[in-house]
Amino acid sequence: MIAFVEGTVRHIRISSIIVDVNGIGYEVFVADPYKYPIGKSLFLYTYHQIREDSQILFGFDSEVDHEIFTKLLNVKGIGAKTAMTMLSKTSGKVMAQAIEEGNVKWLKTLPGIGAKSASQIVLDLQGKLVALKEEEKEQTDPIWTQTREALEALGYNPKTIQSVKKELQEKEYGSVDAMLRQALMLLAQRKEG
């Protein structure tokens, strides 16, 4: 399975982009292809759908969007196309919030979602959205949030940053500088190893 792609946008299609990953072009279906300009470097979490007659990659900017998409596929009557259309109209975070609040009325405003589908989404997914809970936890830890932003500014990709998150959060740090120093040390050790 392809869990993510990191590369450069080479071409934009109606519902997908072509990402050049070390000379190989991957077609990745995204919610809004036009938000990725040609030549832009990017990192996308992906869902690799394998069927008898096709293999399709769906791409997402955030883990929350990725999780919402994969969870929606488990809801009766929701396919990949509908789930992606829903995410083209709102973020996974906003959708997850609506699901957690049981806001059927709001979910019905999304394209392709009627009262029955909206109720089914809430019934199947309420209380089961792990990435949203992780993100809420992150928001209560401003030192980690600022450290992550600093690492991103230094050019580290989200997957690399995520790889040191658990280790960093095992200890208490009095400041962003202290956590950032530790993060850079961990990342340097991994690069050497």
pLDDT per residue over 106-117, tens digit each? 999 998 899 999
* pLDDT score for 157: 77
* pLDDT digits 0-9 by tens, 142-153: 787 788 888 888
Residue 14 above 90 pLDDT?
yes
Q: Which long-range contacts (C-beta less than 8 Å, at least 24 apart) are formed by 173-179?
A: 173/143, 175/143, 176/143, 176/146, 176/147, 176/150, 179/143, 179/144, 179/147
Average pLDDT over residues 56-69: 92
| Residue 16: predicted pLDDT | 96
Give residue for tokens 């279906």: 29
175 has a pLDDT exceeding 70: yes
Q: Express each pLDDT in 27-43 by its tens digit.
A: 999 999 999 999 999 99
Residue with structure tokens 């609040």? 101
Nearest to 186 by CA among 151, 153, 152: 151
**96 residue type, one letter:** A
Q: What is the mean pLDDT of residues 160-175?
A: 80
Instruction: Give the model confidence (pLDDT) of 77-107 as tens digits.
Output: 899 999 999 999 988 888 988 888 889 999 9
Compute the half-sphere exposure of residue 76: CA atoms within 13 Å on the CB side of its CA. 5
